């Protein structure tokens, strides 16, 4: 069985080698990363840096480590996706589960999650709104599942869940027109949706849906 913390601990030194301003510190017997992360624009020109901490989270590597922005450059405000303990809300839960389905490394977490999050914060400071983000709380879940399912009809969500998890038999071939009626072949449409739903897990989805209905 994987030792979640030991795996995190084994990977943070690699992160320090790549991100020269990060250092390893210890608190309550557990190592974590602290330091600044630089953000560059598409032309690879330095824009700004953020003082952060990255701590082990017990779900790692199938959940993100916990990111804290500790320099005060992001307002402590749910609308800015930052909580009163300085932890950062990086995405909605089902999206996190998908992104971590095969296990995420600390380096990939920084490159694929932390840097885009910080860049989006800078974008909001200059433009007055995020470039792209899930709304906070239940609104974010509604948007996520609406985009995933291809409909905002919660009754359709339940129907698709029944198909995805075998509660209801689906009599359709992979090359036939998809059940959603958009004209695409099933194998290129909701067959992929059902695969993603199974990755997220029925229990997680039901809990999410109950929180927004």
The confidence score (pLDDT) of residue 2 equals: 73
Dump pLDDT digits (tens) for 151-185.
Answer: 999 999 999 999 999 999 988 999 999 999 999 99
Query: Domains in the chain, please, with CATH?
Result: 4-127 (3.10.110.10), 138-212 (no CATH)
At 1, the pLDDT band (50, 70, 90 cuts) reads low
Q: Which two tokens stand for residue 53?
A: 């901490």
Q: Give me the pLDDT at residue 152, please.
A: 94
Cα of 199 vs its chain's centroid, Å: 14
Cα angle 158-135-113, degrees, rounded to a multiple of 5: 100
Residue 87, strand partner residues: 68
Distance CA 192, CA 194 (A): 5
Integer Cα distance of 12 and 31 in angstroms: 9
pLDDT tens-digit profile of 113-125? 999 999 999 999 8
Whether the link from the prior residue into 44 is cis, omega within 30° of 0, is no
Strand partners, 49: 38
- Distance, in Å, from the CA atom of 39 to the CA atom of 138, rounded to the nearest integer, reads 30
Name the residue with higher pLDDT: 188 or 42: 188
Its sign, for the CA torsion 148, 57, 77, 114, is: negative
Give the β-pairing of 66-69 and 30-40.
unpaired
Q: How far apart are CA 150 and CA 26, in angstroms?
A: 45
Rounded CA separation 162/77 (Å): 38
Q: What is the spatial order of strands in the sheet that 66-69 belongs to?
A: 22-27, 30-40, 46-55, 66-69
pLDDT for position 164? 96
């Amino acid at each position: 069985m994987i030792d979640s913390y030991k795996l995190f601990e084994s990977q943070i030194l690699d992160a320090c080698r790549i991100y020269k301003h990060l250092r390893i510190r210890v608190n309550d017997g557990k190592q974590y990363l602290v330091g600044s992360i630089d953000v560059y624009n598409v032309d690879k020109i330095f824009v700004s840096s953020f003082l952060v901490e990255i701590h082990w989270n017990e779900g790692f590597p199938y959940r993100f480590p916990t990111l804290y922005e500790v320099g005060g450059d992001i307002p402590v405000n749910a609308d800015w996706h930052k909580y009163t303990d300085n932890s950062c809300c990086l995405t909605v839960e089902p999206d996190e589960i998908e992104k971590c389905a095969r296990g995420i490394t600390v380096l990939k977490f920084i490159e694929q999650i932390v840097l885009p999050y910080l860049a989006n914060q800078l974008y909001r400071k200059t433009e007055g709104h995020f470039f792209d983000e899930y709304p906070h709380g239940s609104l974010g879940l509604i948007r996520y599942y609406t985009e995933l399912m291809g409909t905002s009809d919660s009754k359709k969500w339940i129907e698709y869940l029944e198909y995805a998890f075998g509660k209801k038999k689906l009599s359709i071939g992979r090359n036939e027109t998809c059940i959603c009626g958009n004209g695409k072949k099933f194998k290129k449409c909701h067959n992929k949706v059902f695969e993603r739903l199974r990755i997220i897990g029925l229990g997680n989805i039901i809990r999410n849906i109950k929180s927004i209905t």
